[in-house]
Structure 1
Amino acid sequence: MMPAVSVLMPVYNAQDFLAAAMESILQQSFRDFEFLIIDDGSTDDSVAIIQSYQDPRIRLCQNEQNLGISATLNKGIDLARAPYIARMDADDVAYPDRLQKQVTYLKQNPACAMVSSFVKVIDEQGKFVRQDDFKSEYFYYNLTFICWIYHPTVMYRREAVQAVNGYTKPYAEDFELFWQLSRNYRIHTLPELLLDYRVTSKSLHQVLRKEEYAQAQQEQIQRNIQYYTRTDKSLPPAFIDCYQYSFLPLLQEKKVHQIVACLKTLDGITQKILETENPNRNSQDIQKAAIYKKRYIVNFFLKRLAWPQRIYLLLSVFTLKDVVKFYRAQAIEAKRKKATPALQKQPHLSHELSFT
């Protein structure tokens, strides 16, 4: 009998956290799934750990040689027997009701091809690192610039992923897939915690292949923007970094007019996103997301400018009415942050430069 869900988990030298990840799936409240585990040429005890479990829902497949994450995931999609595929990583921990809530959502929303969730980020010892406080209605707009969707939280329809050719990039493969899906289908993020996301010394995108992933993201964001603006013109890398909330490259230029140009370019991109037909297009949500993004960027640079430069920046990118709204919103946000100090909304900058 065909299972309702295929839980797809690639494994490569994951012995340290593998048992916890497996048990978090095997103990799900939703039981109608197959657990498709693909070992990608591990040289540690990963395979032995997998084989120590006798649960009949487990299907172990071993690659004859290391294929890499994208090829392994595409292989898993082809092997999956269920219409829904839930991604899982071998170092994360799914909450007991994760599968049930995601299956329920997809069944109730047939136009939706992928549903994800919020996460709690933990370290190798399982200690709390942060919990992102993103609004789920902002995800579609921001997917043009940055991937807020955590790969091991997603459950997607197998046929939809196959229709966009699966994973097509060796790096930032999830970002690429999510954006391609969002062009053709509804996507959604459940605004609740359903997974502990572990950051380790073996994390590909943050440690082992950090430069490759960063370069892939730059290229994808340039392509995303060109898609909406219908031009092949490339933006300065510092602009792309800024839209990803990495402000140091633009900060180092020490040119206020470049910050203004970056923000005005963002306004133009936002307008094009609003004008582009899309299953996820909601004008009100896009406008709210754009306003929040612009205010966040402006607030960062204002803290590092002298008063004349602050005034120049504000009056260049906002109307007087919007300046009042900006400071009112900042006061509200400061009060909210004071009430919830444990939430870290954006990546922290480790270096700061002052303008002269």
Structure 2
Amino acid sequence: MSTPKVTVLMPVYNAGPFLREAMESILRQTFADFEFLIIDDGSTDDSVAIVESYNDARIRLFKNEKNLGISATLNKGIALSSTELIARMDADDISYPTRLQKQYDYMLRHPACALLSTWARVVTEDKKFVRLERYRSNFYYYNLTFECWMYHPTIMFRKKAAERVDMYSMPYSEDYDLFWKLSTRFEIGNLAEPLLDYRLSSSSLNAVTKKKEYDLANEQNVLRNIRYYMGDDFTISMPVLECLRHNFGPVVETGDMAEILACFSVLDAITERILRTENPNGDPRSIRAAHYFKKRFMLMELGKALPKAQSVGLLLRTNAWPILCALALHSLRWRIKEAIRIVGNPLRVLNPQRVV
């Protein structure tokens, strides 16, 4: 049997209710030249029996003797992989039929790219639509400093690149940690289309059972990222750090305008350091644009949360009028389009030949 071109790596832990649907979404891919590396991490339900019920030569099942946790299990999978390209999959999500083909084709066209994500469609446990996670692909590098836009089961990465950055090295927020490390040394990419349904599960580690641990790890990751650009001795208050993560409650609760303004001065300083840091993803135009939109979002959210006097003071002291004018113009354009959609284009009556 020839060596496959892609490894699909899927850890499993008590995933019985959704496992079969997740597996079949991979086994029915239009791109068929892959190995399906499944590692059971000590499940106590029928997960192993479900995997073993499939008679497909592409499936390679390994069983941990005891529960090792997600990072150790994924690192084991990377070591066991027989291919350079590794696609991640989770045992409760659904990959679209063309996902692997589109990611494989992209990686072939972009040999310098080490990490590729896609948009994700977020659904409930019973697959009801919640939202579509869609972000500008050229903003990913900048925004990975402050938050993780990439959904773990949408990822395809290169094995050698992951090994060079020490693979998964945190017990929680392990995906964000790996993605950011890869982004500091290699090109990253994103396919601007949804290629996976991401299921919100009641047994999710990062959103439910280990939410506090993941929240703390995410905060530590962001602080590490900022210090990468600003220096190991850089200090930042917790409310300002949380504001940069788009958690605005702590800085609003301080009621301290100096602390609120610090959110923007710190953001500007970090952005300047990012611009000056050599990086394969460091396109200045994209970085400045991502900074503009992040700053605009922060101003809008803080403006809504603060008392009116403070909100006006914030806009004045951050020289936000260009942003406000752009927002007003965007709002006006949207209202005109909506009016035309509802009542029709009033200019049509100027041309009698077009009146129905």
What code does the residue aligned with 1:57 have? Answer: R
Q: Please give the per-residue CA displacement for 1:298-341, whole angstroms capped at 9, x wherever unaligned.
A: 011212344432332112112644543354356568889999xx
Give SS of 1:200's match.
coil
Answer with 217-226 or 64-73: which moved more.
217-226
Partner in structure 2 of residue 149 of structure 1: 150
Partner in structure 2 of residue 168 of structure 1: 169
Q: Please give the per-residue CA displacement for 1:155-192, whole angstroms capped at 9, x wherever unaligned.
A: 00111111111101101000000011001100011100
Give matches, 1:51-62, under 5 Å.
51-62=52-63
State the distance in 2 between where 1:140 and 1:289 align: 9
Does structure 1 residue 114 correspond to structure 2 residue 115? yes
Give SS of 1:91's match.
coil
Contact 1:218–1:237 (8 Å) recurs in 2: no
> TM-score when scaled to structure 2?
0.91
What code does the residue aligned with 2:235 have? Answer: S
Structure 2 unaligned segments of length 5 or more: list them. 341-356
Give SS of 1:147's match.
coil
Partner in structure 2 of residue 233 of structure 1: 234
Partner in structure 2 of residue 83 of structure 1: 84
Give SS of 1:16's match.
helix
What code does the residue aligned with 1:95 have? Answer: Y
Higher gyration radius (CA):
2
What code does the residue aligned with 2:156 have? Answer: M
Give SS of 1:115's match.
strand
State the distance in 2 between where 1:74 and 1:149 align: 19
Does structure 1 residue 245 correspond to structure 2 residue 251? no
Q: Could you say if the C-alpha distance between residues 312 and 103 of structure 1 is closer, same or farther in structure 2, counting changes exceeding 3 Å? A: same
- The structural deviation recorded for 1:33 is 0.2
Give matches, 1:191-340, under 5 Å.
191-318=192-319, 320-329=321-330
State the distance in 1 between where 2:267 and 2:336 align: 27
Q: Please give the per-residue CA displacement for 1:58-81, whole angstroms capped at 9, x wherever unaligned.
A: 000000000000000000000000
Give SS of 1:206's match.
helix
- The structural deviation recorded for 1:258 is 1.8
Contact 1:8–1:37 (8 Å) recurs in 2: yes
Q: Could you say if the C-alpha distance between residues 335 and 190 of structure 1 is closer, same or farther in structure 2, counting changes exceeding 3 Å? A: farther
State the distance in 2 between where 1:334 and 1:5 align: 48
Contact 1:74–1:167 (8 Å) recurs in 2: yes
- The structural deviation recorded for 1:232 is 1.8
Contact 2:296–2:323 (8 Å) recurs in 1: no
Partner in structure 1 of residue 352 of structure 2: none
Give SS of 1:303's match.
helix
State the distance in 1 between where 2:250 and 2:188 align: 32
- The structural deviation recorded for 1:99 is 0.2
Answer with 85-94 or 316-325: which moved more.
316-325
State the distance in 2 between where 1:86 and 1:294 align: 34
State the distance in 1 between where 2:207 and 2:318 align: 33
What code does the residue aligned with 1:81 have? Answer: S
What code does the residue aligned with 1:191 have? Answer: A
State the distance in 1 between where 2:262 and 2:339 align: 32
Answer with 78-87 or 297-306: which moved more.
297-306
Question: How much identity, in percent, do the aligned residues show?
Answer: 48
Aligned residues: 339
- The structural deviation recorded for 1:230 is 2.1
- The structural deviation recorded for 1:110 is 0.6
What code does the residue aligned with 2:158 have? Answer: R
- The structural deviation recorded for 1:234 is 2.7
Contact 2:120–2:134 (8 Å) recurs in 1: no
State the distance in 1 between where 2:330 and 2:301 align: 14
- The structural deviation recorded for 1:257 is 2.8
Q: Could you say if the C-alpha distance between residues 82 and 334 of structure 1 is closer, same or farther in structure 2, counting changes exceeding 3 Å? A: farther
Contact 1:4–1:33 (8 Å) recurs in 2: yes
What code does the residue aligned with 1:63 have? Answer: N
State the distance in 2 between where 1:305 and 1:156 align: 42
What code does the residue aligned with 2:171 have? Answer: P
State the distance in 2 between where 1:156 and 1:317 align: 40
Give SS of 2:133's match.
coil
Partner in structure 2 of residue 348 of structure 1: none
Structure 1 unaligned segments of length 5 or more: list them. 340-356
Q: Could you say if the C-alpha distance between residues 334 and 21 of structure 1 is closer, same or farther in structure 2, counting changes exceeding 3 Å? A: farther
Q: Could you say if the C-alpha distance between residues 332 and 191 of structure 1 is closer, same or farther in structure 2, counting changes exceeding 3 Å? A: farther
State the distance in 2 between where 1:136 and 1:177 align: 18
Contact 1:222–1:234 (8 Å) recurs in 2: no
Q: Please give the per-residue CA displacement for 1:14-37, whole angstroms capped at 9, x wherever unaligned.
A: 000000000000000000000000
Q: Could you say if the C-alpha distance between residues 123 and 323 of structure 1 is closer, same or farther in structure 2, counting changes exceeding 3 Å? A: closer
Partner in structure 1 of residue 106 of structure 2: 105
Q: Could you say if the C-alpha distance between residues 208 and 194 of structure 1 is closer, same or farther in structure 2, counting changes exceeding 3 Å? A: same
State the distance in 1 between where 2:126 and 2:198 align: 12
